[in-house]
């Protein structure tokens, strides 16, 4: 089964977790774009959505799904998103789509976070996927030096400005054996807006799309 089919399968499966007449938080990326196609057919069953990016907002607008701002609501029951890598402790790398900061904020605000991935995203150790870090433009050189000290090979993502008008640094060569400590360390570098390690806000439910089935894991 090809990657597209795996992504579509898990994007469809997650529909059964959607609470009726509620607002749902929605991530960014190709898996989420498939999910939104399915959600379009159910749009009258939900109240609306909180979007994590301009890309997702544009799709929601096109599909006629009402958008709510996080600051204007009191409760977000659920957030649905994918990941670039996830390990067996449900720690993740996110930010391939440059939306990590808003994704982290919405995931942290939601009561439940459901992550939908295809099986290629499962890893033993995080770090093969270059770690995305959102940085304030005037600080990117300084942050780069600090990341090199941590052993990283840093590349500024070309022609990308995030929805918050910042840059993305992609960091290779990090063998992330302790995601918690690295998330904290990188967050503490002045100029970093957020780091694509999600070790504090992990998914509550993980759906993994495999060739013959969808595996559902509930975090203990
Ligand atoms: C965007 C993300 C995405 O969840 C991640 O990049 C996975 O994307 P895709 O569904 O296209 O594989 O973190 O910032």
Q: What is the pLDDT of residues 107-125, one digit of tens each?
A: 999 999 999 999 999 999 9
Q: Enumerate residues 6+ apart whose C-beta is below 8 A from 193.
A: 101, 134, 135, 136, 164, 166
Residue owning the nearest CA to atom 1 of ligand 1: 97
Q: Could you give the strand order of the β-sheet that contains 192-195, starting from the edge strand earlier in sequence?
A: 153-156, 167-172, 131-135, 192-195
- Active-site residues, by number, are 103
CA of 29 to the centre of ligand 1 (A): 4
Is the Cβ atom of 168 under 6 angstroms away from ligand 1?
no
Please state, in angstroms and as integers, the Cα–Cα distance from residue 34 to each residue in 84, 136, 181, following that order: 16, 31, 34
pTM: 0.97
DSSP state of 124: S
Would the pLDDT of 132 be above 80?
A: yes
Is the Cβ atom of 130 under 6 angstroms away from ligand 1?
no
Region 166-186 average pLDDT: 98
Is the Cβ atom of 33 under 6 angstroms away from ligand 1?
no
Would the pLDDT of 1 be above 80?
A: no
Is the Cβ atom of 199 under 6 angstroms away from ligand 1?
no
Please state, in angstroms and as integers, the Cα–Cα distance from residue 183 to each residue in 17, 60, 187, 201, 206, following that order: 29, 31, 6, 11, 21
């Amino acid at each position: 089964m090809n990657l597209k089919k795996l992504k579509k399968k898990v994007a469809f499966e997650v529909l059964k977790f959607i609470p009726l007449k509620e607002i749902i938080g929605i991530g960014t990326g190709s898996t989420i774009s498939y999910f939104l196609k399915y959600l379009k057919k159910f749009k009258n069953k939900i109240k609306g959505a909180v979007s994590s990016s301009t890309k997702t907002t544009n799709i929601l607008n096109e599909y006629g799904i009402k958008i709510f701002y996080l600051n204007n609501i009191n409760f977000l029951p659920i957030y649905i998103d994918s990941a670039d890598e996830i390990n067996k402790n449900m720690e993740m790398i996110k930010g391939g789509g440059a939306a990590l900061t808003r994704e982290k904020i919405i995931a942290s605000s939601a009561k439940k976070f459901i992550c939908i991935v295809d099986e290629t995203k499962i890893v033993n150790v995080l770090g093969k996927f270059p770690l995305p870090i959102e940085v304030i433009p005037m600080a990117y050189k300084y942050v780069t030096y600090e990341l090199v000290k941590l052993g990283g090979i840093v590349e500024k993502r070309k022609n990308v400005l995030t929805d918050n008008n910042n840059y993305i640094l992609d960091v290779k060569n990090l063998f992330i054996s302790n995601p918690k400590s690295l998330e904290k360390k990188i967050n503490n570098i002045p100029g970093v807006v957020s780091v694509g390690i999600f070790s504090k806000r992990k998914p509550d439910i993980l759906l993994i799309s495999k060739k013959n089935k969808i595996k559902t894991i509930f975090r203990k």
